[in-house]
């Protein structure tokens, strides 16, 4: 198989498998006081210190969770509720419609429950939030904003946001900023302290770690209302028995991601550019979504090195996906299925694309196992696949 869906999940690193297996061979609850419990706690705290060191945070700022979705939910709902409890005027959440559903859906749930109002931040044609857009949204009423949430890099089209600049705008009004950095980690330099963010989401399985473990980096001074209650683990913010083996593997994956980020980013960018150029040459009617990747944002590339999001006119993305899959090539449509009806990506629609232009979108995402042979396989398959998909699309439209 040619696996080009690393943005969904990426193969687990061999050293992570070894670390997790070794940790699972021992028994101990990290909250227990006996010898086995203290040994488990030692593993957790060593992993916490390692992750903090690699991501520019203090160990006390690393709150372990079950992954990106829980971290996003905890940041959005938890910070909003804590801010509103301290000041009932803080009812407005500011976020862009291109956010991951882990952010969008919890915000919309808060709105349906009457706990919040959503203020939507406009994005440009690349899917980026600009500082002046955020400033204008805050200026409508600075006293009613509880939280700003803007993802570091978009999971579908790969566009990078100016998080440090956006955090500066929010902080001028005493408003905290959360960023989902799930896609950024390993592809871009991620430093919690330098970013200015008050809360930052990361997860293990996007960087060669195990599924089911992640973290919310949370500034010590930032109040947050917990979503889970029980044992009072993780500073009382996230109760639940800690996954010692998962956390151990997570730390190994973060260490690898950070240590190899510069070299890996350069390799992935070269493969990405080759894929985009050759696909556009081999097939007519191909367009790139998101930032073209020619500039810098906060000193880093303006597009994720491993992201190639292409739109094929006259095609349905699901047809393209299945035809490629039959050729042994795995990628993603970037669209969601709601009530059994395929809908274009909410990200592309928020960027201003019409539905018919958004329907034929595929996301090819590269990662630590990607090679030139993977790109070659895609280019070899694309012309015939697109021709068949367009023929099928023409029949459907008749």
CATH at 271: 3.90.1150.10
- Please give the structure tokens belonging to residue 228: 């889970």
Residue 393 reports pLDDT greater than 50: yes
Instruction: State the pLDDT at residue 144.
Output: 98
24 and 155 share one domain: yes
pLDDT in tens, 22-75: 999 999 999 999 999 999 999 999 999 999 999 999 999 999 999 999 999 999
How far is Cα 58 from Cα 51, in angstroms, rounded to an integer? 9
Question: Average pLDDT, stretch 286-315?
Answer: 96
**Active-site residue, 337 included:** yes
Nearest Cα to Cα of residue 321 among 306, 291, 310: 310
Examine the domain organization and report whether 240 and 276 are in the same domain: no
Domain end residue (candidates: 223, 258, 293): 258
Pair 54, 189 in one domain: yes
Q: Which domain holds residue 44?
A: 14-258
Q: Are residues 284 and 186 in the same domain?
A: no
Region 225-232: mean pLDDT is 96
Instruction: Look at residue 288 and tell me whether its pLDDT is greater than 80.
Output: yes
Q: What pLDDT, on the 0 to 100 scale, is given for residue 5?
A: 97
Radius of gyration of the chain (CA): 21
Same domain, 287 and 367: yes
Report how many domains make up the chain. 2
Cα(121)–Cα(95) distance, rounded to whole angstroms? Answer: 6
Residue, of 128 and 392, whose pLDDT is higher: 128
Rounded alpha-carbon distances, angstroms, from residue 62 to 68, 200, 233: 13, 10, 12
Could you tell me the sign of the dihedral formed by the alpha carbons of 26, 31, 35, 41, in that order?
positive
Question: Got the DSSP string for 61-126?
Answer: GEEEESSHHHHHHIIIIIHHHHHHHH-TT--EEEEETTS-HHHHHHHHHHHHTTS-EEEEEP--TT
Which pLDDT band, with edges at 50, 70 and 90, does 363 fall under?
A: very high
pLDDT score for 398:
61
The model's pTM is: 0.95
Neighbour count for residue 385 (Cβ, 10 Å): 24
pLDDT score, position 147 = 98
Domain boundary among 217, 232, 258: 258
């Amino acid at each position: 198989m040619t696996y080009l869906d690393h943005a969904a999940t990426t193969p687990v690193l061999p050293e992570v498998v070894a670390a997790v297996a070794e940790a699972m061979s021992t028994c101990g609850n990290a909250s227990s006081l006996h010898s086995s419990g203290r040994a488990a706690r030692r593993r957790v705290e060593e992993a916490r210190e390692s992750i903090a060191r690699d991501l520019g945070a203090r160990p006390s700022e690393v709150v372990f969770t079950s992954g990106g979705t829980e971290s996003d939910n905890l940041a959005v709902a938890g910070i909003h509720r804590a801010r509103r409890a301290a000041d009932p005027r803080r009812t407005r959440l500011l976020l862009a419609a291109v956010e991951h559903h882990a952010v969008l859906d919890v915000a919309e749930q808060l709105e349906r429950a009457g706990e919040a109002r959503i203020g939507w931040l406009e994005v440009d044609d690349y899917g980026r939030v600009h500082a002046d857009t955020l400033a204008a949204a805050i200026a409508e009423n600075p006293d009613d904003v509880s939280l700003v949430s803007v993802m570091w890099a978009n999971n579908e089209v790969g566009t990078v946001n100016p998080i440090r600049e956006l955090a500066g705008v929010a902080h001028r009004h005493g408003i905290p900023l959360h960023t989902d950095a799930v896609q950024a980690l390993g592809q871009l330099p991620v430093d919690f302290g330098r970013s200015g963010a008050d809360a930052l989401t990361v997860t293990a399985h996007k960087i060669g770690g195990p599924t089911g473990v992640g973290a919310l980096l949370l500034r010590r001074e930032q109040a947050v209302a917990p979503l889970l209650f029980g044992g009072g683990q993780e500073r009382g913010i996230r109760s639940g028995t800690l996954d010692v083996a998962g956390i151990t593997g997570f730390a190994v994956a973060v260490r690898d991601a950070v240590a190899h980020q510069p070299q890996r980013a350069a390799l992935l960018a070269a493969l990405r550019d080759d894929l985009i150029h050759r696909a556009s040459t081999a097939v007519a009617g191909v367009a790139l979504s998101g930032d073209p990747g020619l500039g810098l944002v906060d000193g880093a590339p303006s597009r994720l090195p491993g992201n190639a999001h292409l739109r094929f006119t006259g095609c349905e993305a699901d047809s393209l996906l299945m035809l490629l899959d039959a050729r042994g090539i795995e990628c993603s449509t970037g669209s969601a299925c709601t009530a059994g009806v395929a809908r274009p990506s909410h990200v592309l629609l928020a960027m201003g694309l019409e539905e018919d232009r958004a329907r034929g979108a595929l996301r090819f995402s590269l990662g630590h196992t990607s090679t030139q042979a993977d790109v070659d396989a895609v280019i070899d398959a694309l012309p015939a696949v697109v021709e068949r998909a367009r023929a099928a699309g023409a029949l459907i439209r008749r």
